[in-house]
Every structure is written in structure tokens, then in C-alpha cells.
Homo-oligomer: A and B are copies of this chain.
Amino acid sequence: MSATMESEAWLAGRAGRETWPEIQGMMEVGRMLHGRGWSLATSSNYSVRLSQDPFRLLLTKSGMDKGRLTPADFVVVDEHGRPLPGEPRPSAETMLHVVAAQRSSIGAVLHTHSVWGTLLSDVYHSLGHVRLHGYEMIKALDGVSTHDHELEIPIYENTQDIGSLAEEIAERFEDDTKPKMHGFLIRRHGLYTWGRDLDEARRHVEGFEFLLEVAGRALTLRSALPAGLVAPPVSL
């Protein structure tokens, strides 16, 4: 059976898309993230892995209002980020989802586009990362059991060449000399994070966006402190 026939058979076996829990879950996530201002203006995109072999990833279509997603606003892609036959055009950033979701430990990927994520990814770009330490919220990330943990969020330059960026990120996933990566920022663009399932990815988004707001307001407070108060830590 050719790959195309396989894909068609696979899709035929998954009718009734409006009842898929993965779609209902992403529609709800979209309302929440759009409501908080982290997915405005059709920015950002979400995905959930449907199966690992063959690799099938369900992804928000390009250009949809994330506060008003419908079951028609999703596309199924394969391991090369190509839509299955009959499926619409996926987002330009599809491969960033694919490289994450191909890892067996990752079942869902969420990309957000917040004001603080945009600002922090810019201010800290020259350092290559935002580093945070000592915040209880860091324990929201999978596998972190103490606030006494140094979180490093890599920052990548924004680019229209998503293929190269996806490769760079795939290499970072494989680099065992570095601490486990729970998410990354793209400069003046936003956050990618993920989890074993959609609930965990959602917890990671909330944790990261909280920490980015804390880091941004800490920077602003820093210059305002009178003698006698100690500035919040600034990652350098």
C-alpha cells in the first residue's frame, strides 16, 4: 500500500471529526489562551499527536481566530509536516510542532504569542536565553521537584526559514550536555512549549507565561527600588 493510500485509509477510519476529544480540547485551550491575550490576531498554533506509527499530528490550520476555533479549523499532517490527502494547508510553523511531537515523551505542543514573551525574547536575545532561578512556579514544569532549579529558556532568532530552525531545535532536543528543555522562545515572536498530553502542555504554557510576566515586571521594578530593598534576580 502506498503512503497516500495508507493516509487515505487512516483518515477514513477517523470520521466524525466534530467529536474528537483532541479537537474539543484544543478549541477550549484556544478560548482560554485568546481570552488571556496570548493568542491574539490568529497568532500562535496548537497541536496534538494522534498516532506515533504512522506519525499523525493534528494541528490548527493557518490563520484561524483562536478564540473561535471550530472542528473544521484543524489539519492532519505526517512526519514531514505534509497535510494528508484532502487536508488543507497547515501553518508555516508546522515543522516546529513536528520535531517536538516526534519525541515519544511529547504528545501535545502549544505556541503562544504574549506581550511579555515578545518583550523578554527581545531583551534577552543577546544572551541567547532567559535564565530563572528560585521561583516556586518553576515546579509547574514536568520533572522539576524544587524551586531551587535553574531554568534556562533558549531564545532563537526569528526567521522565515522554519526548516533550519526546526533542525536547530531537533539538535537541541538531542543534546544531552544541556539541561532538559521544557520550552523555547523565538525573538519578538513568542513561546513554544509542550507536554505528554494537552493538559500538561497547558500547565506548561501557564507556568512559562507567568514566569515571563514576573521576569518582565522584575526588570521594571529594579530601577525603581529605594535603598534598603533588594532587586529581584535578573538573569545575566
- Give CA–CA (A232, B216) in the complex, Å: 12
Copies of this chain present in the complex amount to 4
Expressed in whole angstroms, the minimum distance between the Cβ of A97 and any Cβ of chain B is 16
- Give CA–CA (A146, B232) in the complex, Å: 33
28 example contacts (A-B, Cβ-Cβ < 8 A) are as follows A37-B210, A40-B140, A40-B207, A41-B207, A41-B210, A43-B140, A113-B136, A116-B217, A118-B137, A119-B217, A119-B221, A122-B230, A123-B225, A123-B229, A123-B230, A125-B230, A135-B188, A147-B158, A147-B188, A147-B189, A148-B160, A216-B217, A219-B221, A219-B229, A222-B224, A223-B223, A223-B224, A229-B234
Chain A contacts to B: CB under 8 angstroms: 32, 36-37, 40-43, 65, 67, 113, 115-116, 118-119, 122-127, 134-137, 140, 146-148, 158, 160, 186, 188-190, 199, 202-204, 206-207, 209-210, 213-214, 216-226, 228-232, 234, 236
